């Protein structure tokens, strides 16, 4: 998007190519904790079409299609099917807190569309928890292929795996614990950190799958600052600023009700980027820039990625 709220397709193409070049294994677009919730169906279509043009056949495309209203979830999922995505990421309906039978019915209804579904459980945001037992019931559906677990509870990995076997893939939704998640029986992660450090996160997941604890530690230690500071404000605010600062996108602007990263956090994110080896910076220069930008709604660039 530009800083006037329009989609910035050139920046989106740049992001997509960045992930192709970095060897990203799977691409998740229109994520629930991004800005997809404030995009129209036409805007969603433009994003999907661009992703299909750039990466179809190179990287599998997982499209976020979850929201509260099941009819709207169907509409977004059918659009993803028609435009060439490979699977959908469907979050538990948030705020309304359906009971377990309601969650089972919701995911079953979406899977009955005949399109692969990755379920997304993030009770910290949705205030509803898809239990391991419900996950096991849903794992029997041929079109339910995975679970993104963002509970942060590593003890659940073994429990879920014991109930579902190899019927579905288990993805971590928490960067700070994703390596441990995989070493305990998970299959990978759907990552925020990978938006700016995709190669390192790929290597981390490979090391975790191989149960190489020493290599996991060596790869992960430089990323710890990113895992923490990319959540210093609500996601995706910090990661968009980090992507802008790294030159991946043209602006850190976020569509309301989100906003741009508070200048007081710029040093924290910069420090994390430097620790990860993504670039170096002059701390005094950054501080001077911060003071100059206080009170401004933009950090100086005109465009942003969707």
Catalytic annotation, residues: 120, 148
Task: Report the 3 state secondary structure along 70-96.
Answer: HHHHHHHHHHHHHHCCCEEEEECCCCC
> Is 228 in contact with 176 (CB distance < 8 Å)?
yes
For residue 63, how far is the Cα from the chain centroid?
A: 10
Residue 186: CB atoms within 10 Å? 26
| C-alpha distances out from residue 76 to 16, 98, 102, 103, 251, Å | 21, 20, 20, 18, 27
- CA-to-CA distance for 137 and 141, rounded, in angstroms? 8
Indicate the length of the chain as a whole number.
306
Bridge partners (DSSP) listed for residue 170: 147
> Is 298 in contact with 251 (CB distance < 8 Å)?
yes
| C-alpha distances out from residue 182 to 129, 162, 194, Å | 21, 14, 16
Tokens 């799977």 found at: 26
């Amino acid at each position: 998007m530009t800083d006037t709220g329009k989609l910035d397709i050139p920046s989106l193409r740049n992001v997509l190519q960045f992930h192709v070049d970095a060897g990203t294994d799977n691409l998740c677009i229109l994520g629930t904790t991004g800005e997809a919730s404030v995009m129209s169906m036409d805007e969603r279509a433009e994003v999907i079409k661009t992703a299909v043009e750039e990466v179809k056949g190179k990287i599998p495309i997982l499209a976020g299609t979850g929201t509260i209203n099941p009819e709207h979830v169907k509409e977004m999922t059918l659009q993803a099917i028609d435009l060439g995505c490979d699977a959908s990421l469907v979050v538990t309906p948030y705020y309304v807190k359906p009971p377990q039978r309601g969650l089972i019915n919701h995911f079953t209804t979406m899977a009955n569309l005949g399109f692969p579904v990755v379920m997304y459980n993030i009770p910290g945001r949705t205030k509803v928890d898809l239990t391991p037992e419900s996950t096991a019931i849903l794992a029997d559906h041929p079109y339910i292929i995975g679970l993104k677990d963002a509970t942060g509870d590593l003890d659940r990995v073994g429990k879920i795996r014991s109930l579902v076997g190899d019927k579905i893939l288990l993805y971590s939704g928490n960067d700070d614990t994703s390596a441990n998640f995989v070493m305990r029986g998970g299959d990978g992660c759907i990552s925020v950190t990978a938006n700016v450090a995709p190669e390192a996160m790929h290597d981390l997941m490979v090391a975790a799958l191989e149960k190489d604890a020493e290599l996991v530690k060596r790869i992960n230690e430089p990323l710890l600052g990113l895992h923490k500071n990319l959540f210093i404000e609500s996601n995706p605010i910090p990661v968009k600023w980090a992507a802008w600062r790294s030159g991946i996108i043209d602006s850190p602007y976020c569509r309301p009700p989100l906003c741009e990263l508070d200048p007081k956090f710029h040093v924290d994110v910069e420090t994390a980027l430097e620790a990860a080896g993504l670039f170096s910076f002059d701390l005094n220069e950054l501080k001077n820039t911060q003071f100059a930008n206080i009170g401004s709604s933009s950090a100086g660039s005109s465009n942003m990625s969707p």
